[in-house]
Amino acid sequence: MNELTFKNNTVIPFDNGDGKIWFTAEALADLLGYANSNKVSNIYNRHKDEFTDSMTIVTKVRKCNKNSMIDYTQVRLFSPRGAHLIGMMSRTKIAKELRIWLLDLAERESGVEVGHLNLETLPQLAGQKMLDAIDVFDKKSLKYRGKKGSGLMAQRKRDIKLIKKATEIALQLTQLSIPDLGDFPDGEPA
């Protein structure tokens, strides 16, 4: 499984053998800045009715006990969507940044690429290309983030704000204003 990076911290997802990204409670606690993984377990237990089967699973893990005997313990794993939901319930300072990172991770894992709408490079595009870029971003955002229950509605709201700002910039750059030429001399048609 590939390493992931969040705020210069290396995160190694749990390899469950299914090729998907999973996080343990310990990894999430570390990412959220908790000293104890029980905080993540407590958040889950308080809100477990909000988690779907695709957001969290329990798996058995082999560990060596004190007597060097192999022991099996159960570990709860969270998908990026499940980890995002834990982040929604968390009140740490870094939780907001983690939620954004997890949403991007969930989109990459699902193969959905909404793209980006960069306000700095927008003015460099020609008029129609500028409007097309905004339109493409809006349609993809609506398709992948605008469905009720998708868990991405908060990101869709941020996208809408960005689309409005980009549209304002595009209109300012593409609207021509004709300067006042003054009065025409006598005999000239107006």
Query: Cα-Cα-Cα-Cα dihedral of 114, 139, 120, 111, to 10°?
Result: 10
Can you give the pLDDT at residue 43? 95
Domain boundary among 93, 123, 141: 93
Indicate if 63 and 145 belong to the same structural domain.
no
The answer to whether residue 69 sits within a structural domain is yes
Indicate if 74 and 27 belong to the same structural domain.
yes
Residue 79: which domain range? Answer: 1-93
Indicate if 137 and 59 belong to the same structural domain.
no
pLDDT band per the 50, 70, 90 thresholds, residue 90 = very high
The answer to whether residue 3 sits within a structural domain is yes
Q: Which two structure tokens, joined as six digits, stand for 111? A: 């193969």
Residue 156 near residue 146 (C-beta atoms within 8 A): yes
Indicate if 60 and 11 belong to the same structural domain.
yes
Identify the bridge partners of residue 185 per DSSP, sorted by sequence position: none
Q: Which two structure tokens, joined as six digits, stand for 163? A: 């689309």
Q: What is the mean pLDDT of the chain?
A: 82
The number of distinct structural domains making up the chain is 2
Indicate if 83 and 43 belong to the same structural domain.
yes
Indicate if 79 and 133 belong to the same structural domain.
no
Indicate if 83 and 135 belong to the same structural domain.
no
> What 3-state DSSP class applies to 2?
coil
For the residues of 170-189, what is the DSSP string, one character each? Answer: HHHHH---PPP--PPPTTS-
Asked whether the whole model's pTM tops 0.85, one would answer no
159 has pLDDT over 70: yes
Q: Which two structure tokens, joined as six digits, stand for 173? A: 């750059």
Indicate if 55 and 13 belong to the same structural domain.
yes
Indicate if 32 and 85 belong to the same structural domain.
yes
Indicate if 64 and 37 belong to the same structural domain.
yes
Indicate if 148 and 60 belong to the same structural domain.
no
Place of tokens 């980009």: 166
pLDDT digits (tens, 9 = 90+) for 48-85: 999 998 899 998 888 777 777 888 888 999 999 999 99
The answer to whether residue 184 sits within a structural domain is no
The answer to whether residue 44 sits within a structural domain is yes
> What 3-state DSSP class applies to 94?
coil
Indicate if 134 and 86 belong to the same structural domain.
no
The answer to whether residue 167 sits within a structural domain is yes
The answer to whether residue 100 sits within a structural domain is no
Rounded average pLDDT over 177-185: 66
The answer to whether residue 182 sits within a structural domain is no
The answer to whether residue 117 sits within a structural domain is yes
| Contact residues for 74 (Cβ-Cβ < 8 A; gap 6+) | 58, 59, 60, 61
Alpha carbons 174 and 98: distance in angstroms, whole number: 37
